[in-house]
Structure 1
């Protein structure tokens, strides 16, 4: 009986042990499955986070994420660029990150009251930017978990809007002035019995303002055609030096009338492939501009030299110069440093804009260097013709350009 009882107890123990082993095996399997699932989800989460970080890093907008403690959680490279911020912003305070009171106030309002906002600020940094930004809170069941701000650089957009407004205002003024003169003198002719001299003066005034209006309209149409690409370009090899010297000879009466001297220099590498009409218009406009703004006794210098695979052409005057603040806008249509003087000299305000657009159409670039009281140098560069010789020492060719004093 004792033996039978012992055997039964052993069997029971073995049964219990087997069930324990089965339970442990099942638990181990469940743990393995949970572990696999957790690892897979973590891997997916890491992949999603990596993708999100890559997207945020590549965005053209600046992104700033802050926590409820008003510390930076995330700032993408564009945000750091817009605010000239340090490479690492995570953990820093809001003001350390953006240094803009209006931006900080908008983020704090989103954190404290859950207010979303869209605003625009100037950075106040060099170069100054106009930034339009939107702020929104991250909602949470318990409390606000943080906020995000997205910044878009609208500097160029605002500049274009300003240029458009200036264009409309200046174009209206430029058209109105000659039209008013034409109307006034025409009314005098109709309503009054004028002596012959008075009538002749009125007719001459009408004719002069009509010509001015015609030139303005032609310049506007030409600029429009260049911008639209509707002007066919006929590239051909051109010796720019010969073209410049011919224009100087044609302008000799104006040079002598203005008591101006003119000189020409070239290193011999002056051949380009370009549209002759466009290139002649560029040179004529630059020379016309130099003559207008050079005082009696001044000098206009035309220089050209090879610069690698490009030809650089410079037209220098000895005028009053251009203030540094005006240089970035000097090639804008209707932009004038001294509007009153420019109109008195008979310009339309479109000559330099036409120069810029023609040079761009020819595959080149243009610019201006100036110093107040020491004149200005307008220049443009064009690709040289393949057969152009290498640049050598600069040598002057004074004999072919007129010199007056």
Structure 2
């Protein structure tokens, strides 16, 4: 019994000294990475065990041969244990970092969803209230005969805008859910640009904005033509919406070793530096006012989803989209990869 007490005391004292040193080391590592803390924890654990065994073995008056064999066994076991534990600790640290990033992305996505629900609810409530008021007025017969045509036109315009907003929400939900399936192929970028410009030309004319497209060759990219056309259409509509009458919207493009690129420039006056990182956020409009535009406006106020959809579609293609301020406005640049050899 006394021998057991002596052995226990020696083991406790030696391992305790290592543990105290380890606590001081952890205090020194305060503020460092999770990997550093795990490495220190593993090193202290293995070292305390090895130290206790060596101290007790010395106290047992083992022969030099036995001590040598024990030392070799402890050295090999310690190296293997340390190596495995450090490797596992690093993987665990990386996994914890990935988990933290995943939680942060999930929280950001949830905040974005709540914001979209709140903003879209407001955007839907206003036109629905107008539709109800006009329908009730027509139903009660309080509208003069010569005003009914105008009421019907306004109802149709509001219904079209609600349908457009619902379509944007559906498209954005497919992108965020990863459910968007693209049929990729070799697409002449110039043809997509030409079609998008032709479709946006009547809207630009109605607002008094001049739309200019560079006829230079744009190259061939690997893309899905409908989705790429949607990207350019959204950028053009956004540029026309924020360009004042008599302003100019310019479309240029080209190709390089990485693929094709298109840049849409407007004369919106520029975007505040603080807002540039938020331009592609869902429901971001660059303004705090939520008052919708007049029904006669050919573009409307927009649901704040066009740029978010364009950003998502470009990323699905493996491309990049960026925005920069220019002298009199801003420029959106889209890059799409070249076809694989």
Does the alignment reach a TM-score above 0.5?
yes
C-alpha distance in structure 2 between counterparts of 1:152 and 1:358, whole Å = 26
C-alpha distance in structure 2 between counterparts of 1:200 and 1:223, whole Å = 35
1:215 positional shift: 0.9
Paired residues in the alignment total 273
Q: Does 1:167 align with 2:112?
A: no
Q: Does 1:364 align with 2:333?
A: no
Q: Does 1:352 align with 2:307?
A: yes
Alignment counterpart, residue 222 of structure 1, candidates 143, 162, 171: 171
C-alpha distance in structure 2 between counterparts of 1:318 and 1:342, whole Å = 22
Alpha-carbon contact 2:263-2:333 (below 8 Å) kept? yes
Q: Which structure is higher in RCO with an 8 Å CA cutoff and minimum separation 6?
A: 2
Alpha-carbon contact 1:316-1:375 (below 8 Å) kept? yes
**Structure 1 alignment gaps of length 5 or more:** 1-26, 63-77, 79-150, 388-405
Q: Which moved more, 1:377-386 or 1:298-307?
A: 377-386
Q: Does 1:298 align with 2:247?
A: yes
Alpha-carbon contact 1:267-1:306 (below 8 Å) kept? no
Alpha-carbon contact 1:305-1:313 (below 8 Å) kept? yes
C-alpha distance in structure 2 between counterparts of 1:370 and 1:342, whole Å = 26
Task: Tell me the secondary structure at the aligned position of residue 94 of structure 2.
Answer: coil
Aligned position for 2:232: 283
Structure showing greater radius of gyration is 1
Q: Does 1:264 align with 2:218?
A: no
Alpha-carbon contact 1:269-1:311 (below 8 Å) kept? yes
C-alpha distance in structure 2 between counterparts of 1:261 and 1:342, whole Å = 26
5 Å-filtered alignment, 1:87-236, equals: 152=100, 155-191=104-140, 193-228=142-177, 230=179, 232-236=181-185
1:353 positional shift: 1.9
Aligned position for 2:204: 255
Q: Does 1:377 align with 2:331?
A: yes
Alpha-carbon contact 1:181-1:205 (below 8 Å) kept? no
1:157 positional shift: 3.9
Task: Tell me the secondary structure at the aligned position of residue 234 of structure 1.
Answer: coil
Alignment counterpart, residue 257 of structure 2, candidates 297, 300, 308: 308
C-alpha distance 52-163 of structure 1, shift in aligned 2 (>3 A): same
Give 1 or 2: higher strand fraction. Answer: 1
1:192 positional shift: 5.6
Task: Tell me the secondary structure at the aligned position of residue 49 of structure 1.
Answer: helix
C-alpha distance in structure 1 between counterparts of 2:176 and 2:74, whole Å = 55
Alpha-carbon contact 2:282-2:305 (below 8 Å) kept? yes
1:229 positional shift: 5.3
Aligned position for 1:54: 87
1:294 positional shift: 0.6
Alpha-carbon contact 2:220-2:259 (below 8 Å) kept? no
C-alpha distance 274-342 of structure 1, shift in aligned 2 (>3 A): farther
TM-score, structure 2 as length reference: 0.69
Give 1 or 2: higher helix fraction. Answer: 2
Alpha-carbon contact 2:281-2:308 (below 8 Å) kept? yes
Aligned position for 1:238: 187
Aligned position for 2:29: none
**Per-residue displacement from partner, 1:40-75 (whole Å, max 9, x unpaired)?**
23442343233333333441378xxxxxxxxxxxxx
5 Å-filtered alignment, 1:33-72, equals: 33-58=66-91, 59-60=93-94
C-alpha distance 166-192 of structure 1, shift in aligned 2 (>3 A): same
Aligned position for 1:96: none
Give the alignment's Cα RMSD to 1 decimal: 3.1
C-alpha distance in structure 1 between counterparts of 2:207 and 2:185, whole Å = 34
